[in-house]
Structure 1
Amino acid sequence: MNGERKPGVLDRALRLFAEVKAGEGANVVILAVNVFILLTAYSMMKPLRDGLILGEKGPEFTAYMSAAMAFLLIPVIAGYGKLADRFPRRRLINVVTLFFAACCLVFFLAGTGGLQIGIVFFIWIGIFSAMILAQFWGFANDLYTNEEGERLFPIVAVGAAVGAIAGATIVKEMIIPLGLYLPMLFAGALLVMSLFLTNWVDRRERQRTEGAVDPGSSTAFAPAATGEFRMDTGEFKNLREALREALEKEARGETVADEPKRAEPAEPQIEAGRGAFAMVFKTRYLLYIAILILILNWVNTNGENLLRFLITDSAQTAVQSGTAAAATVEQYIGDFYAGFHKWVNIAALVIQLFLVSRIIKHAGIHVAVMILPLIALGSYALIAVYPVLEYVRWAKTAENATDYSLQNTVQNALFLPTTREQKYKAKQVTDSFSKRAGDTLAALTVFVVVTFTGTSIRAFALLNLLLVLIWLAVAYRIGREYRELVRTGRPPV
């Protein structure tokens, strides 16, 4: 008892928000600051995206761009999978993040050079936002056990909530005096800064969990995508070896209630890229997650599209009448969305700080995963009755705030009981492709609604009510699967 490590000042301070054990505070804060920087960069670029594309093409066109993102993500995820099969996690993250930072510089130069970049920037930021965050959370999942992740992810996600607020606040003050291009340089610089923290926490966590492991077989040199999974003891174990040991114990007549159970050895790894999609479609748990994210984003994007229709009409009226402070429709829309995202993110921060860890601790992941669809059910019922801008704005604020806080934390925690290969490769499919596939279905929804109802806000809301009911059923199944995976201590196969 006397040899136990005592919690430090930081550990005790963080216990206001979550259960933090001795020695865990420093690393979880580094991770939180890391994702804070990433979300600040992304949140700075969201209003720029909306201002550029809505000013150039209008709200209907933005919906159709989601299909382009989804199709482009197929080869992009294939390429990412090949990198994950070759590179250790630290090098993988460095290469991908530096590529996205370089893109920010290219967009700045193109925009200030007079080129219309709205379409390309809109597609790029949709791919960037999904992939960079999936990569970060795959990395975070790789660092912790199931028990540690459930306790500590709520604190890590605080960094995301604060970063979203910081980005929206900063860019709101920059857009009108500086325009839409200079903030892109700031965002790119932030991406480069994030890598210092990523590399720092990677070294610290390897020292903590792999100090006795031969360096050649540690995560410092092994590819990011392997068939290993982290056990409750903190050590990595190969899935095939775990299944073989379980079969040997069964042959000896020993009890293996908590061991991975399967009649045959695990299938060999499939080629990167193609393997990422096959992994999801052949693994029921991962497929459920992919379906959930698809429906979630279909519903959310339907809501975003109806908000875009309303704000574009409002902007054109205000600018033409001379009642707007902004000089152009693009600036009016960018300013509106900066304020909208700011209040969404403030609400998300409050939820993240004081509710998320308590909900997960007392209700569990299996209950928490059902809360957002219940809120969405109420939001779209309200919009169906009162389809006006102010009501839509605040209904979407409630939905998005919960999405960015509780749902974000829970959705990422669902990958805690998976293998390293699933964390890095399959997570890109569920978090990137499924997200954009949901956006694509929302684009088809725009086409159908515009064609047959003439942009009826009520039609969007009623469709979303139907989709939310399906979402609830899928969330229930995922909750049951997650509990079983944690109980048995095995990854999904």
Structure 2
Amino acid sequence: LRPVRDAMSSDWSDAQLSTIWTFTFLISFFVVSLYGYACSKIKFKLLVPSIYGIFALTFYFLFLLTNFFPSLNLINQIFYVWVSVFSLLNISVFWSFMADTYNKEQAKRLFGFIAAGSSLGAFFGPLITIFFARTVGSNGLILISATMLFIPVLIAIFLQRIKATELQNTTLSEFNEQPMGAKIFSGFKELGLNPLLLGIGIFIVLYSGMNTIFYYALKNFLTDVDQATRTQIWAGIDLAVNVLSVLTAMFGTGRLASRFGLSVTLPLVPMIITILLFIFALSPMLWTFVGLQIVRRAGEYAITKPAREMLFTTVDRESRFKAKSVIDVVIYRGADVSWGWVYTSLTQLLGFGLAGIAVIGALIASIWSLLAVYLGRYFDKHQVVGSETKS
């Protein structure tokens, strides 16, 4: 779905895309509020399967819309917005479920491997897009994706069954027959009151700044390329990212987290990005930028994301599901909107070129690195306190 969505962006100006991102933020706020309501009303054991089932049905509906109105630009914009909302809430729910399924020690060993599995699945998505984009078309890809969303429903049910047996993690298992309760906006409240969650929220804002800079720059590079070729280029980047992230996550992330802790693992990629952006500013070229994009995204998926998700093993279930979705979707998309308009202002009002944008990005990445060190140290310290308490 993502290559299909991203290929559409080159048809719009920076200002138009920023406007679409603004609508995405507003829809994200509404959807996360509905999700918070669902958390308070649906039995926990049914929550995750229900979310994935509902998303599958929405994409079947979008498939029908794109077939009945194939040339309507508004449908493309609706599709772009909905995929943007789905891509974050889907991943947020998945990692919330993982943090609830595994304890802290299991997370340090397994989250890198789980991230590798996620990337391996994403590896086949771009392959399908590359080989079938011209034969089945974008609409056919939507139908395939909608159908595949029913697979996680079955997996979620299976994991809930083995949590208390094979995994021997019985924490909160007595509450699986109940909804989480609390109010619809409790996730927003928890975010404002918990310093750790607030720190993660700021971390996401800075992460979004990096994404925006790379996304807009690459979009502008591909303005004069036809949509089918753009889709294949975006899919090719996804493919390279997923191969690299699978290898890194399988053989590196778990070892990094177990040996050096999160105070080293979490800031590693932001520090690398800082250095590479300063180097890129000296010679800004398309394929250099594509290579940097691949390294950045692979590092974030394989190292930064699983390391960040480990932080949520230290909070309660309500924060894990409700506040986390606020951070991953509302804060993320709100940051997208803000950074999108910042980028538009820098390029269209102030006349910044790619080299200047790269320098600004490097400065943002350096602040991101410092915050990552702080959050990583918090997690490592929390682990020590936990072990001392047990002894």
**What residue is the counterpart of 1:95 in the other structure?**
50
CA distance, structure 2, for counterparts of residue 344 and residue 354 of structure 1: 16
Q: Would the alpha carbon gap of residues 58 and 447 (structure 1) be closer, same or farther in structure 2, given more than 3 Å must change?
A: closer
CA distance, structure 1, for counterparts of residue 278 and residue 233 of structure 2: 24
**What residue is the counterpart of 2:96 in the other structure?**
138
> Which of 160, 182, 186 in structure 1 is aligned with 2:140?
182
1:298, 1:438 within 8 Å by CA — same for their partners in 2?
yes
**What residue is the counterpart of 2:76 in the other structure?**
118
CA RMSD, 1 decimal: 2.1
Alignment of 1:188-227 (within 5 A): 188-208=146-166, 218-223=174-179, 225=180
The answer to whether residue 66 in structure 2 is matched with residue 169 in structure 1 is no
1:59 Cα deviation after fit: 5.0
CA distance, structure 1, for counterparts of residue 28 and residue 154 of structure 2: 27
Question: What whole-Å deviation, never above 9, does each CA across 1:7-59 have from its counterpart, x for those lacking one?
Answer: xxxxxxxxxxxxxxxxxxxxxxxxxxxxxxxxxxxxxx01110223433x245
State the identity %. Answer: 22
Aligned partner of 1:416: which letter?
T
CA distance, structure 2, for counterparts of residue 72 and residue 111 of structure 1: 20
CA distance, structure 2, for counterparts of residue 129 and residue 366 of structure 1: 28
**What residue is the counterpart of 1:395 in the other structure?**
292
Q: Give the TM-score, by structure 2 length.
A: 0.93
Larger Rg: 1
The answer to whether residue 1 in structure 2 is matched with residue 104 in structure 1 is no
**What residue is the counterpart of 2:374 in the other structure?**
477
> Which of 61, 68, 76 in structure 1 is aligned with 2:23?
68
**What residue is the counterpart of 1:447 in the other structure?**
344
The answer to whether residue 26 in structure 2 is matched with residue 80 in structure 1 is no
1:284 Cα deviation after fit: 0.4
CA distance, structure 2, for counterparts of residue 419 and residue 212 of structure 1: 14
Gapped regions of structure 1 (runs ≥ 5): 1-44, 227-268, 316-328
**What residue is the counterpart of 1:283 in the other structure?**
194
1:164, 1:345 within 8 Å by CA — same for their partners in 2?
yes
CA distance, structure 2, for counterparts of residue 476 and residue 85 of structure 1: 34
1:63, 1:446 within 8 Å by CA — same for their partners in 2?
no
Q: Would the alpha carbon gap of residues 207 and 152 (structure 1) be closer, same or farther in structure 2, given more than 3 Å must change?
A: same
1:379, 1:396 within 8 Å by CA — same for their partners in 2?
no
Question: What whole-Å deviation, never above 9, does each CA across 1:297-339 have from its counterpart, x for those lacking one?
Answer: 11122111111111224x1xxxxxxxxxxxxx11121111111
**What residue is the counterpart of 2:206 in the other structure?**
295
1:372, 1:399 within 8 Å by CA — same for their partners in 2?
yes
Question: What whole-Å deviation, never above 9, does each CA across 1:53-103 have from its counterpart, x for those lacking one?
Answer: 433x24552243222222222222222112112222331112211111011
* Greater mean deviation of Cα atoms: 64-73 or 162-171: 64-73
**What residue is the counterpart of 1:347 in the other structure?**
244
CA distance, structure 1, for counterparts of residue 169 and residue 346 of structure 2: 58
CA distance, structure 1, for counterparts of residue 272 and residue 169 of structure 2: 45
Q: State the SS of the aligned residue for 1:180.
A: helix
Give the structure, 1 or 2, with the largest relative contact order (CA under 8 Å, sep 6 or more): 2
1:366, 1:479 within 8 Å by CA — same for their partners in 2?
yes
> Which of 106, 122, 128 in structure 1 is aligned with 2:86?
128
Aligned partner of 2:124: which letter?
A
Q: Would the alpha carbon gap of residues 453 and 109 (structure 1) be closer, same or farther in structure 2, given more than 3 Å must change?
A: same
Q: State the SS of the aligned residue for 2:176.
A: coil
Q: Would the alpha carbon gap of residues 211 and 480 (structure 1) be closer, same or farther in structure 2, given more than 3 Å must change?
A: closer
Q: State the SS of the aligned residue for 1:406.
A: helix
1:59, 1:312 within 8 Å by CA — same for their partners in 2?
no
CA distance, structure 1, for counterparts of residue 110 and residue 291 of structure 2: 30
Q: How many residues align?
A: 384
CA distance, structure 2, for counterparts of residue 180 and residue 455 of structure 1: 35
2:10, 2:220 within 8 Å by CA — same for their partners in 1?
no
Q: State the SS of the aligned residue for 2:366.
A: helix
> Which of 310, 335, 348 in structure 2 is aligned with 1:438?
335
Q: State the SS of the aligned residue for 1:399.
A: helix
**What residue is the counterpart of 1:308 in the other structure?**
219
1:419 Cα deviation after fit: 0.3
CA distance, structure 2, for counterparts of residue 293 and residue 301 of structure 1: 12
Gapped regions of structure 2 (runs ≥ 5): none
**What residue is the counterpart of 2:10 in the other structure?**
54
Aligned partner of 1:389: which letter?
L
The answer to whether residue 312 in structure 2 is matched with residue 357 in structure 1 is no
Q: Give the TM-score, by structure 1 length.
A: 0.74
1:455 Cα deviation after fit: 6.1
Aligned partner of 1:186: which letter?
I
**What residue is the counterpart of 2:356 in the other structure?**
459
2:101, 2:169 within 8 Å by CA — same for their partners in 1?
no
Q: Would the alpha carbon gap of residues 439 and 211 (structure 1) be closer, same or farther in structure 2, given more than 3 Å must change?
A: closer
1:429 Cα deviation after fit: 1.4
CA distance, structure 1, for counterparts of residue 232 and residue 167 of structure 2: 46
1:445 Cα deviation after fit: 1.8
CA distance, structure 1, for counterparts of residue 265 and residue 361 of structure 2: 21
Aligned partner of 2:116: which letter?
V
2:15, 2:341 within 8 Å by CA — same for their partners in 1?
no
1:53, 1:118 within 8 Å by CA — same for their partners in 2?
no
CA distance, structure 2, for counterparts of residue 222 and residue 304 of structure 1: 41
Q: State the SS of the aligned residue for 1:176.
A: coil
CA distance, structure 1, for counterparts of residue 372 and residue 219 of structure 2: 28
